[in-house]
Structure formats: C-alpha cells, structure tokens
Amino acid sequence: MSFSFEGKSVLVTGGTGSFGRRFVEILLERENPRRVIIFSRDELKQFEMQQERRYQHEAMRWFIGDVRDKDRLRQAFQDVDVIIHGAALKQVPACEYNPFEAVKTNVIGAQNIIDTAIELGVEHVIALSTDKACNPVNLYGATKLCSDKLFTSAHAYVGARPTRFAVVRYGNVVGSRGSVIPMFLKLRDSGRLPITHVDMTRFWITIPQAVDFVLSCLGRMRGGELFVPKIPSMKLMDLARAIGPSCQYDIIGIRPGEKLHESMISEDDTPHTVEYDDRYVILPYLPQIGAPGLERTGKPVAPGFRYSSDQNSHWLTPDELREMIKPFMKGN
C-alpha cells in the first residue's frame, strides 16, 4: 500500500531537525513531489540546510514560522496535500523548567495544525510522537500524549472534508540531535561515560528506518490510527560499551522525569490494539472518531499486552548495534 507523492505538495514542520532533513532527502531521491516546504523557526538552520547540495532542488520552499502562529500556518498550508508534523519542544529538562512554553508548542501548536489543515483541505497529516507519551511521567511526554489524542480524535469534526490524521509513535532515534550517542562520542575521549542505571533499556530506531515507517503509514492510514513500529531494544550500558569499550562508567542515577524502561503501548491500550507483521496499530477509542474504512484487518493483541523496552522480543545484537552507530563513529 504505497503512497504516491507524484505532483503533491508536502510540508514538514520542524523540517530542519534530524528527521525532517532525512525525510526530505529521501523524498527528493525516491519521489517526484511538486513542492517540498520546510516550515521551522530557526533561520540559521534553514540557511545551513539550503547550502547543502542535496537540498538544492527546484521543488524546495522555505518558510520561517512557528506552529503557535495560526495566521502563518494558513499562509504556509495553501495548496498543501501532505503535512508531516515534527515540530516540538523535546528536551525533557527544558520542558520541565518552561512548562507552558512546551504546552504552547506541543499542544496548542498541534491544535493549530489540525484546525488549519481542516480549514484548507489538506488531505493527509501525520504527527510524529514518542515513547515518552505512553503513561508519561514528565511534562514533555504529557504534552505529546495530549497532542496524540488531539490528532487521533480530530475526525470528530472533519465531517465531509477530505482531511485525514494519524500519529506515528517510535522510540529513541539513533544519533538525533541532543541524544545520547553524540554525547557519548563527545565524552569518550575523556575516558569516562555517565550511565543513569545499569539496567535501563530503550527502544531504538535509525533515522532512515523512521522515515521509511512514516512513508509506509501514509499508504495505510485511513484516519484516527496511532502506528507503532516493531523495533529492537537495548540496554544503555551495552550502547556505552560499544562506543567506549575502554571507558570507565559513572553511575549517576535516573534523572527526574526519566523512566527505567519505556513503553509504546500500555495495557490500557490493549482492547484497541491490533498487530501486523511489522507494526502495531492503536485504533480510535471511539468508533465514530475513525474515518470510514479504517483498517481493522490486524490480529488483536492478547489481553494485558504491553509493548515495553524491557519485555521486547527483539534485542539488538552487538553487530547490529555497531552497524547502527557506524555513521556516527566516523571521524570520532
């Protein structure tokens, strides 16, 4: 069920981020979109992105704007067919210290995207989520859970208009800006790496894998779904050993707002979750919210099912781990 971008106009919020850059690169390599619009706040990041040959394409457009600004969204969404919503405040400590700033971007910004997409007849909208939105313990996760609910419930007032919404939720992205891999690479020459807890586990996905999954969800979405990929887990300690095998490890304790293990599907989601070979899909809690023809061909998961990083059936082997981090080891 592939999705054709032939002649489509595509907008990516937060398009200068790790995911957005790779998504646009793959889109230009594989597809023939009419326009690809980068919508983000930072003019310097846009300038730097424009200097790279892979983004010097006649289809590219560049919009400075903030998802908090609905008027600017109306200008940017004119004649847009597909929106990938990746803009968010993501740093857990920053969100804890500036809580309403996180709400304004991650929650009010999400509603602005929804309202404007419906108003202007955008056909497909996929919002990017995080494992921290499942049973959240920090403000970032709570705002993303609220955002997820807004997007999956938006069909309650779409009516006869063409707009369809879905959410993609995945775990830690290997090598994304501000993540643990770049930090470990930076610190390993010091001979010491900080470890929060020796048993801490996380889900892991590479940026190309995340892009491929989002593209596949565009072809399958009918509206109201939350898609979760089947991805491997690993211990943070194993990651540290792969990056700095000769380093000393300082156990610093779990930080405020952090879990020992992450989940992407809770037991409370079980009655609404179906399984496929490569993914799980959480269907809308209220049947009337989903779009007509919502895909229900998956296998219902067992009662009490929970998809968590410590109970995963797929664990990264050392070779798989080294392969995943290889692009970030060059020059380090």
**pLDDT tens per residue, range 161-189:** 899 999 999 998 887 766 788 888 889 88
C-beta of residue 181 within 8 angstroms of C-beta of residue 193: no
> Which of 27-31's residues contact partners 24+ apart within 8 Å by CB, and which partners?
28/54, 28/55, 28/57, 28/59, 31/4, 31/5, 31/6
User: Is the model's pLDDT at 158 over the cut of 80?
Assistant: yes
**pLDDT tens per residue, range 284-293:** 887 666 655 5
Residue 164's domain is classified under what CATH number? 3.40.50.720
Q: What is the pLDDT of residue 155?
A: 86
Q: What is the pLDDT of residue 107?
A: 98
User: Is the model's pLDDT at 145 over the cut of 90?
Assistant: yes
- Answer yes or no: is 332 within a domain: no
- Answer yes or no: is 189 within a domain: no
Length of the chain equals: 332
**pLDDT tens per residue, range 44-53:** 999 999 999 9
Q: What is the pLDDT of residue 1?
A: 65
Q: Which position among 8, 90, 132, 259 bears the catalytic label?
A: 132
Residue 158 token pair: 């779409």
**pLDDT tier at 332, thresholds 50, 70, 90:** low
- Answer yes or no: is 178 within a domain: no
- Answer yes or no: is 195 within a domain: no
Whole-model pTM?
A: 0.94
**pLDDT tens per residue, range 302-324:** 999 999 999 999 998 877 877 88
Dist. CA 315–CA 204, nearest whole Å:
10
**pLDDT tens per residue, range 87-99:** 999 999 899 999 9
**pLDDT tens per residue, range 224-248:** 999 999 999 999 998 888 888 889 9
C-beta of residue 164 within 8 angstroms of C-beta of residue 121: no
Q: What is the pLDDT of residue 280?
A: 97
Q: What is the pLDDT of residue 295?
A: 55
**pLDDT tens per residue, range 192-225:** 999 999 999 999 999 999 999 999 999 999 899 9
Q: What is the pLDDT of residue 176?
A: 74
Q: Please tell me which residue, 174 or 252, carries the higher pLDDT value.
A: 252
Determine the structural domain holding residue 224 and report its residue range.
9-172+203-231+263-307
Q: How many domains does the structure of the chain reveal?
A: 1
- Establish whether 90 is a catalytic residue: no
C-beta of residue 198 within 8 angstroms of C-beta of residue 251: yes
pLDDT > 70 fraction of the chain, expressed in percent and rounded: 95
**Residue range 269-297: mean pLDDT, rounded:** 81
- Answer yes or no: is 322 within a domain: no
Task: Using the Cα atoms of residue 272, residue 88, residue 103 and residue 10 in order, give the sign of their dihedral.
Answer: negative
CB within 8 Å of 331: residues ≥ 6 apart: none
> Which of 182-191's residues contact partners 24+ apart within 8 Å by CB, and which partners?
182/328, 184/239, 184/240, 184/243, 184/244, 185/243, 185/328, 185/329, 185/332, 187/244, 188/243, 188/244, 188/247, 188/332, 191/244, 191/246, 191/247, 191/248
- Answer yes or no: is 244 within a domain: no
- Answer yes or no: is 55 within a domain: yes
Residue 100 has phi, psi (to 5 degrees) of -75, -25
Q: What is the pLDDT of residue 290?
A: 61
- Answer yes or no: is 49 within a domain: yes
User: Is the model's pLDDT at 35 over the cut of 90?
Assistant: yes
**pLDDT tens per residue, range 57-81:** 999 999 999 999 999 999 999 999 9
Q: What is the pLDDT of residue 41?
A: 96
Q: What is the pLDDT of residue 314?
A: 94
User: Is the model's pLDDT at 329 over the cut of 90?
Assistant: no
